Chain A
Amino acid sequence: MKQSDNLRRIQRRLIFLRLGVVVVLAILLIRMWYIQIVQGEEYAILSEQNRVRMVDLKSPRGLIYDRHHNLLANNIPSFNLYVVLDDVDDRQRLQEHLSVLIGMSVEDVRITMDRHDTPRLPLKVKENLTLKEAAAIESNLSQLPGVAIQAETERSYPQGNVAAHVIGYVGEISAKGLKQEKFQDLVLGSAVGKYGLELEYDRVLRGRVGHKTIEVDARGHERRAIQVKEPIPGDNLHLTIDLPLQRLAEELLEGLVGVIVALDPKNGDVLALASHPTFDPNVLTRGLSVSHWNQIRHDSRKPMTNRAIQGQYPPGSVFKLIVAAAGLESDSILRSTSFECSGRFQMGNRVFKDWKKEGHGLVNLHKGLVHSCDIYFYTLGRQLGIEKLAQYAEQFGLGRRTGIDLPAEKQGIMPSREWKERVLGERWYPGETISVAIGQSYVTVTPLQMATLIGTIANNGLQYQPRVVRQLEKRHDGTFVDIKPLRSGVVPIQHDTLIALREALRDVVASGTGRRAQLRDISISGKTGTAQVVSLGKVESEDAVPRRLRDHAWFVAYAPSDDPKIAVSVIVEHMGHGGAVAAPIAREIIAEYLHSDRVLRVM
């Protein structure tokens, strides 16, 4: 065969090469048609899901101020480190890299990541990055897939533990909590009120979460924002609390277990509410370790209890005010009616004693209150009977919640025949009435109820519901909404009765059991009380009794006597007679409030 024939032969074969090319291109074209035209829509959606992501913008919580615009609860900026685990290709490498940058052990980072079970949602790895850490992260971002730093806010309480029980604290909402209907507008990581006003006014404070639609790259880093719906900040609360007074209250209770409540009797404003021992809301907000939390929870002194509204104590001799009012109102006695006090009171075969062994002699209502004569009130109580006592006590608000705007308020107990049968299933014994008449037995009250009681007397029977928040500030439009004082009732008490009670209360401080509450320039009215923890029987010396069994000291007061501007209730646990310990505390509070002409804004 010639060379040229061979050439022709092979050149003819090139038709197969053409064929091959056509077949290849046709196959590719069909495949492209299938992917781009038939399945194109689906892939376009996948592409969109790849690049577009929704990010929640947490709303700043409303701030809390005292009545003089001092800041009580603030938001401080916090740089938080988030990771979207779905964007991470090599977890171990990221863990090692991060641990170097943020000073956490690899182990801790690993545990945090392993615990997270929604890898498509951002996981907060660390809060409160230092500027140095944040800068290190930002400059290494290209090697940190899925990592983002969010500028958020953290709740902070600049006054520390001052008014901690009133303000409360917040915590991060749990994944379980988010499923509840009332938290549906929140997102993972949102702060939610756990205690105090933070809990009570949570809906007002939390605002509305915003959303941002962003375009991300393959490492999960934001490239640009497509759409932003700004969060709406929560409303600010303006409280009735007077910070300098509150501070003083906290100082006075330092080292003690007890409560100070100060109200404005003319409108129910809570000027100070201190319960000790207390806690630091900053610590609780940041989240505690389990062991620390258990330690607080099992502390026998119960720092997490707001004793002002949750502590239920026998009112002791403070209750005599109610017995006196009941006596006069029901015409059982006149102001001049007198009983002989020999220090002993016999009922059946049982003997009740006066706190003063030798007795008070002939005692009328005024003297009975001023010197807190037990025998007088045993006699009057027996005369009135438990039903009348209960009726008048309930008019003054005992046995029911005051309705203060704080969560988990207790109501105390005002016993009656019906109550005892219902709750204990027993009939009422007349001897119990005698104990009730001096505020023992089943009677229990909260310190706030006692403040309300004395405030009602100070305000001529007009009773106001105590309140802590007086104003809401709508942050989105800057308007203020006043919360009107709420008159919760008018105790139907005659003017003469009030005069009698108020004269007696003035003399308690002027010359009676509450002398230690005296101020030189201001006339104070008050009533001492001693809440028995257990019946001690015959004890020679107070010091012989173990401290935890000693009586609680009560003192309730208002001032100035003729135009009351402040009503105070003080209880100090296990400190014996009210006149000795509680009265001076009340005096300090009153002095501070009524003398107060200092610059009110503190930093």
Chain B
Amino acid sequence: MNGEGKSSLGNVLEWQFGLPVLILTISGLGILSIYSASQNLSSNFSWAPLYLKQITWVVIGGLVFLFMSAYDYHRLLQYSYVLYVISLFLLVVVFFDGRSTRGAQRWLAIGSFSFQPSEVAKVTLVMMLARYFSTWPSSPGVLYRLIIPTVLMFPGFLLILLQPDLGTAITYLFVFLAVILLVGPWTRSLTIGFFSILMVLPFLWKWLWTPLRAYQKERILAFLDPTLDPMGQGYQALQSKIAIGSGQLSGQGLYGATQSQLQFLPDGYTDFAFAVFAEQWGFLGVVFLLFLYYLLFMMIIGIGERAKDLFGVVLVIGITAMLGFCLLVNISMTVGLLPIVGIPLPLMSYGGTTLIMTFAVLGVLLNIKRRRFFS
């Protein structure tokens, strides 16, 4: 193995249990935030406090994680297209027969259980791409090979956008572009240029977006996603900034976080979980949390760098792009860098589908990491 010259940090990363512990720690912090943010909601959600449900999701997610890390991922490789087609089918079903909340049709109910097919599609998209590019031919510069994945990606993107779910659609597109870019046949300089533009794009967006008049923004956003409550955007953005800012260096503590507990900050258990966390634990807590995410990403990318086949590498690229984009956009919108679009914070926001799918895909990654010894 190429273990020589590794830092002690690298050794920690090498540790088999590093990934599960990291994932559970971040989810645990998420549960804590949901617990405090949803305390006063109990009158509206009397059947089960949200943090208890989230714990259930984490337990189920953990089981899925264990299963995926044990299951031979090469079998998944074979099912990738099938899984992707199934999720496209689910998106079509939800389009015609989904349960709508706040004007968007996003949920599919099977008995008493309901989930969001768009969250599933994000992950199966990554798997589909990984499967496709795992047989990348040896001749670079063959652009026509991008046509098939584009054609496969597009209906999913469209169906999600039409739900409408702006946030997930953008994530979907970003994941696709990131994979194409990194796996694609371009020269290195082109890749660098394109990649950096991609990173700056969200901020360019701010400069394109900000000059718009308030009502124009409202109209555009309301058109793209009615659940966003454009009338309340300014309020939400301000309250979120107040929550985060008032955390100052060391935070207001678990029970002193008034912004979230007195519900000045709406949706503190889903899209604004980060703001709740930042109010409670302050800048020190935020540094700690971002460091955990840093470790997570480094660990994931490390797995890619040592994977034995292309499927693993592309999977890592897709997962990193997906989680990284969600992290960036979610936190950016809570601190007023981006307009508020409904994108959850990976592993922390409340939501069963996202959480279980994230756990599942991370389980596959652990699987890839473990199998590199055997293949």
A residues near B, CB below 8 A? 1-3, 5-7, 10-11, 13-14, 16-18, 20-25, 27-29, 31-33, 35-37, 39-44, 46-48, 50-51, 89, 142, 215-219, 223
Q: Could you tell me if A36 and B278 are in contact, using CB atoms closer than 8 angstroms?
A: yes
Q: Which of A29, A48, A89, A215 contacts B290, CB < 8 Å? A: A29
Alpha-carbon distance A371/B360, docked complex (angstroms) = 119
Q: Considering the complex, which residues of chain B in the window 310-355 have a beta carbon less than 8 Å from any beta carbon of chain A?
A: 310, 313-314, 316-317, 320-321, 324, 327-328, 331-332, 335, 337
Q: A-B contact count, CB below 8 Å?
A: 159
Ranked 6 nearest A-B pairs via Cβ: A43-B245, A1-B138, A40-B248, A47-B246, A217-B262, A218-B263
Chain A residues with CB under 8 A of B313: 7, 10-11, 14
Asked if A50 meets B242 with Cβ closer than 8 Å, knowing A3-B138, A14-B313, the reply is: yes
Q: Could you tell me if B294 and A215 are in contact, using CB atoms closer than 8 angstroms?
A: no
Q: Does B97 contact A (CB under 8 A)?
A: no
Q: Does B192 contact A (CB under 8 A)?
A: yes
Alpha-carbon distance A87/B279, docked complex (angstroms) = 22
Q: Could you tell me if A36 and B245 are in contact, using CB atoms closer than 8 angstroms?
A: yes
Alpha-carbon distance A46/B140, docked complex (angstroms) = 57
Alpha-carbon distance A24/B191, docked complex (angstroms) = 18
Q: Considering the complex, which residues of chain B in the window 32-83 have a beta carbon less than 8 Å from any beta carbon of chain A?
A: 40, 43-44
Chain B residues with CB under 8 A of A223: 262
The smallest beta-carbon distance between A122 and chain B, in angstroms, is: 18
Q: Does B244 contact A (CB under 8 A)?
A: yes
Alpha-carbon distance A51/B138, docked complex (angstroms) = 64
Asked if A24 meets B258 with Cβ closer than 8 Å, knowing A35-B335, A36-B282, A43-B242, the reply is: no
SS class of chain A's interface: helix, strand, loop or mixed?
A: helix
Q: Which of B139, B266, B316 contacts A14, CB < 8 Å? A: B316
Q: Which of A10, A16, A25, A42 contacts B195, CB < 8 Å? A: A16
Asked if A6 meets B138 with Cβ closer than 8 Å, knowing A16-B182, A51-B258, the reply is: yes
Q: Could you tell me if B138 and A23 are in contact, using CB atoms closer than 8 angstroms?
A: no
Alpha-carbon distance A51/B245, docked complex (angstroms) = 15
B residues near A, CB below 8 A? 40, 43-44, 136, 138-140, 182-183, 188, 191-192, 195, 199, 232, 239, 241-249, 258-259, 262-266, 278, 282-283, 286-287, 290, 293-294, 297-298, 301, 304-305, 307, 309-310, 313-314, 316-317, 320-321, 324, 327-328, 331-332, 335, 337
Asked if A20 meets B249 with Cβ closer than 8 Å, knowing A29-B287, A47-B259, the reply is: no
Q: Could you tell me if A47 and B243 are in contact, using CB atoms closer than 8 angstroms?
A: yes
Chain B residues with CB under 8 A of A40: 245-249, 283
Chain A residues with CB under 8 A of B242: 43, 46-47, 50
Q: Could you tell me if B327 and A24 are in contact, using CB atoms closer than 8 angstroms?
A: yes
Ordered by A's residue number, 16 sampled pairs between the chains whose C-beta atoms are within 8 Å are: A1-B140, A11-B304, A11-B313, A14-B316, A14-B317, A17-B317, A18-B297, A28-B327, A31-B337, A35-B335, A37-B248, A40-B248, A43-B246, A43-B248, A47-B258, A89-B232
Chain B residues with CB under 8 A of A37: 248-249, 283
Q: Could you tell me if A16 and B245 are in contact, using CB atoms closer than 8 angstroms?
A: no
Closest to B287 in A: A29
Q: Could you tell me if B248 and A217 are in contact, using CB atoms closer than 8 angstroms?
A: no
Q: Could you tell me if A51 and B244 are in contact, using CB atoms closer than 8 angstroms?
A: no
The smallest beta-carbon distance between B6 and chain A, in angstroms, is: 15
Chain B residues with CB under 8 A of A89: 232
Alpha-carbon distance A16/B301, docked complex (angstroms) = 10
Chain A residues with CB under 8 A of B183: 10
Q: Could you tell me if B264 and A50 are in contact, using CB atoms closer than 8 angstroms?
A: yes
The smallest beta-carbon distance between A211 and chain B, in angstroms, is: 20
Alpha-carbon distance A48/B256, docked complex (angstroms) = 11
SS class of chain B's interface: helix, strand, loop or mixed?
A: helix
Alpha-carbon distance A36/B293, docked complex (angstroms) = 19
Closest to B135 in A: A3
Closest to A31 in B: B335
Q: Could you tell me if A218 and B262 are in contact, using CB atoms closer than 8 angstroms?
A: yes
Chain A residues with CB under 8 A of B265: 218
Q: Could you tell me if B290 and A21 are in contact, using CB atoms closer than 8 angstroms?
A: no
- The listed residue with most B CB atoms (<10 A of its CB), out of A46, A51, A142, is A46
Chain B residues with CB under 8 A of A42: 245
Asked if A1 meets B139 with Cβ closer than 8 Å, knowing A7-B309, A35-B241, the reply is: yes
Closest to B133 in A: A10
Alpha-carbon distance A29/B247, docked complex (angstroms) = 14
The smallest beta-carbon distance between A469 and chain B, in angstroms, is: 49
Chain B residues with CB under 8 A of A216: 262
Chain A residues with CB under 8 A of B301: 14, 17-18, 21
Q: Which of A16, A27, A43, A215 contacts B258, CB < 8 Å? A: A215
Q: Could you tell me if B294 and A21 are in contact, using CB atoms closer than 8 angstroms?
A: yes
Chain A residues with CB under 8 A of B314: 10
Chain B residues with CB under 8 A of A16: 182, 191-192, 195
The smallest beta-carbon distance between B152 and chain A, in angstroms, is: 20
Chain B residues with CB under 8 A of A48: 246
Alpha-carbon distance A259/B72, docked complex (angstroms) = 108
The smallest beta-carbon distance between B47 and chain A, in angstroms, is: 17
Closest to A26 in B: B290
Alpha-carbon distance A316/B310, docked complex (angstroms) = 123
Chain B residues with CB under 8 A of A24: 199, 324, 327-328
Closest to A33 in B: B283
Chain A residues with CB under 8 A of B328: 24, 27-28
Chain B residues with CB under 8 A of A7: 307, 309-310, 313
- The listed residue with most B CB atoms (<10 A of its CB), out of A1, A5, A20, A31, is A20
The smallest beta-carbon distance between B210 and chain A, in angstroms, is: 16
Closest to A223 in B: B262
Asked if A6 meets B310 with Cβ closer than 8 Å, knowing A32-B335, A33-B283, A37-B248, the reply is: yes
Alpha-carbon distance A6/B263, docked complex (angstroms) = 53
Q: Could you tell me if B259 and A50 are in contact, using CB atoms closer than 8 angstroms?
A: yes
Alpha-carbon distance A10/B301, docked complex (angstroms) = 12
- The listed residue with most A CB atoms (<10 A of its CB), out of B44, B262, B328, is B262
Chain A residues with CB under 8 A of B282: 36
Alpha-carbon distance A28/B232, docked complex (angstroms) = 24
Chain A residues with CB under 8 A of B40: 217
The smallest beta-carbon distance between A94 and chain B, in angstroms, is: 15
Alpha-carbon distance A50/B265, docked complex (angstroms) = 11
Closest to A221 in B: B262
Q: Could you tell me if B335 and A13 are in contact, using CB atoms closer than 8 angstroms?
A: no
Chain A residues with CB under 8 A of B248: 36-37, 40-41, 43-44
Asked if A51 meets B247 with Cβ closer than 8 Å, knowing A1-B139, A28-B290, A29-B290, the reply is: no
